[in-house]
Structure 1
Amino acid sequence: MGAATYRAPLEQGVTNPYAHLRQYVVSSTLGRDVDPAVTVVPGDPLALVRELKREQGSGSDIWLCGGGKLAGALLPEIDELVVKHYPVVAGAGIPAFDGAFDPTLFDVAERTAFPNGVTLTHLTRR
């Protein structure tokens, strides 16, 4: 996850928000000792994901929890997107992918609609 995403639970005193997972926080400002279960990565997030994919084989168990800046940096290694849509227009916000205009094609693999209007869409890279 990115540092901004990690700061939200950290400000509430939660240093290990996903205790059931190996956690990496990409940050050049956080200390490395925030929690023994959390690895702070001050360097290249793309290199980290590529190393994790080599370590885990297909890399199918790597999840990104963060904003558009981190997602944009990791786009070359993103194989699948899981997008939740809410029937609300909220206005300005964080872009899903930050960076230069570079269309990346995905196909809809599965879409689930819920009675409250929320949809969950799984997309796979072409």
Structure 2
Amino acid sequence: MRKLVYYAAVSLDGYIAGPGGEYDFYPGNDAYTAWMAERFPDTIPTQFRDQIGLGDVPNKNFDAVLMGLSTYLAGPANPFAHLEQYVVSTTLEKSHHPAVTVVRDPVPLVKELKQRDGLDIWVCGGGKLAGCLLPEIDRLVIKSYPVIAGAGVSLVSGNFQPTQFTPVEHISFDTGTYVTWFDRK
């Protein structure tokens, strides 16, 4: 069965973006960027895939993506043309591109997608969407950066619902960034 995976970057104080959706404050370098492109090519927006030599690279991890409204509106109208794309919103009437489907309630969709054959399903921001989907999230892939944001969009927001995960893999980089995989306990 496919897994719902929340793959996200986070600051030391638990923010995935700044108050205005900023994420350019996360440090990186060429080695880290190359690792991300190799390990998670499917998470690179379509507009950049050709530029970094990923144009024809098949998806490795995901073939569907769920985005919150702010995440969707921050990018191009068809951000991940190489994935089945859903934007979760109660206010957006229709997407800005026919390849992106607007969904009001993501839980039934996730349950349906999990039953289909395919690669895993990626939760691509934001914290409110992750909070709504927390009971369905099977795996976390958290890229932790050595920076304090001070304010912004929380990794997960919503109701108090303690949920245990077990670390299953960990890698660190000389920038002080580390990536940890957690599976639902």
RMSD: 1.4
Q: Which one-letter code corresponds to 2:114 in the other structure?
A: K
Structure-to-structure mapping, 1:44-123, within 5 angstroms: 44-56=105-117, 61-123=120-182
1:16 to 71, 74, 78: 78
8 A Cα contact 2:89 2:102, kept in partner: yes
Instruction: After the TM superposition, list the runs of 4 or more consecutive aligned residues in structure 1 that deviate by more than 4 angstroms.
Output: none
Residue 31 of structure 1: aligned partner: 93
Higher strand share: 2
Say which SS state the counterpart of residue 168 (structure 2) adopts.
strand
Paired residue secondary structure (1:82)? strand
Deviation, structure 1 residue 33:
4.8
Q: Provide the TM-score with structure 2 as the length reference.
A: 0.61
Structure 1 position 32, deviation (Å): 2.3
Task: Encode CA deviations 1:41-74: one digit per residue, 9 max, x unaligned.
Answer: 1x21111111111223xx7510001111100000
Report the counterpart of residue 183 of structure 2 in structure 1. Answer: 124
The separation in 1 between residues aligned to 2:164 and 2:119, in whole angstroms, is 19
Unaligned segments of structure 2, at least 5 residues: 1-66
Identity, % of aligned positions:
57
Could you say if the C-alpha distance between residues 116 and 44 of structure 1 is closer, same or farther in structure 2, counting changes exceeding 3 Å? same
Structure 1: state its 5+ residue gaps.
none
2:11 aligned partner: none
The number of residues matched between the two structures is 119
Aligned to 2:73: 7
- Aligned 8 A contact 2:86 2:102 in 1: yes
